[in-house]
Amino acid sequence: MRQTEKEQKDSEKGKQEDKEFLRTEPLGKLLLKLALPTVAAQLINMLYNIVDRIYIGHIPGIGATALTGVGVCMPLIMIVSAFAALVGYGGAPRTSIFMGKKDKESAEKTLGNCFTLQIAISVVLTVVLLIWNRDFLMAFGASENTITYATRYMNIYALGTIFVEITLGMNAFITAQGFAKTGMLSVLIGAVTNIILDPIFIFGFDMDVRGAALATIISQALSCIWVVSFLCGKKTFLRIKRKNLGLTPKIIGPCLALGVATFIMQASESIISVCFNSSLQKYGGDIAVGAMTILTSVMQFAMLPLQGLGQGAQPIISYNYGAGDAGRVRAAFKLLLKVSFGYATILWALVMLFPGAFAVMFTSDPGLVEYTKTALRVYMAAMFLMGIQMACQMTFNALGKAVESIVVAVMRKFVLLIPLIYLVPQIMKGNETMGVYLAEPIADTIAVTFTAILFAVQFKKTIKGIAKA
The predicted model gives 161-187 an average pLDDT of 88
Alpha carbons 339 and 342: distance in angstroms, whole number: 5
3-state secondary structure of 140: coil
Alpha carbons 190 and 338: distance in angstroms, whole number: 32
pLDDT of res. 226: 95
pLDDT of res. 141: 64
Amino acid sitting at position 454: L
Would the pLDDT of 10 be above 60? Answer: no
First to last CA, the chain: 41
pLDDT of res. 14: 47
pTM beyond cutoff 0.75: no
**Other C-beta atoms within 10 Å of 203: how many?**
15
Domain positions in the chain are 25-247, 268-469
Helical ranges in 208-284 per DSSP H: 208-232, 249-283
The predicted model gives 323-341 an average pLDDT of 91
pLDDT of res. 316: 87
Q: At 141, give phi and psi (nearest 5°).
A: 115, 5
Identify the band that residue 469 occupies on the pLDDT scale cut at 50, 70 and 90: low
3-state helix, strand and coil shares in percent for the chain, rounded to the nearest 5: 85, 0, 15
The 10 Å CB-count burial string (b at 16+, else e) for 238-268 is bbbeeebeeeeeebbebbbebbbbbbbbbbb
Give the residue, 58 or 208, on which the prediction is more confident.
208
Would the pLDDT of 20 be above 70? Answer: no
pLDDT of res. 412: 85
Identify the band that residue 175 occupies on the pLDDT scale cut at 50, 70 and 90: confident
pLDDT of res. 273: 76
Q: What 8-state DSSP symbol labels residue 385? A: G
pLDDT in tens, 377-426: 999 999 999 999 999 988 988 888 878 887 888 888 889 999 999 999 99
- Share above pLDDT 70 across residues of the chain, in percent, rounded to a whole number: 89
Q: What 8-state DSSP symbol labels residue 184? A: H
pLDDT of res. 1: 42
pLDDT in tens, 59-101: 787 766 776 677 677 778 888 888 998 999 889 889 988 888 8
**Other C-beta atoms within 10 Å of 308: how many?**
25
pLDDT of res. 363: 65
pLDDT of res. 408: 86
Would the pLDDT of 2 be above 50? Answer: no
Amino acid sitting at position 30: L
Give the residue, 273 or 347, on which the prediction is more confident.
347
> What is the pLDDT of the chain when averaged over all its residues?
84
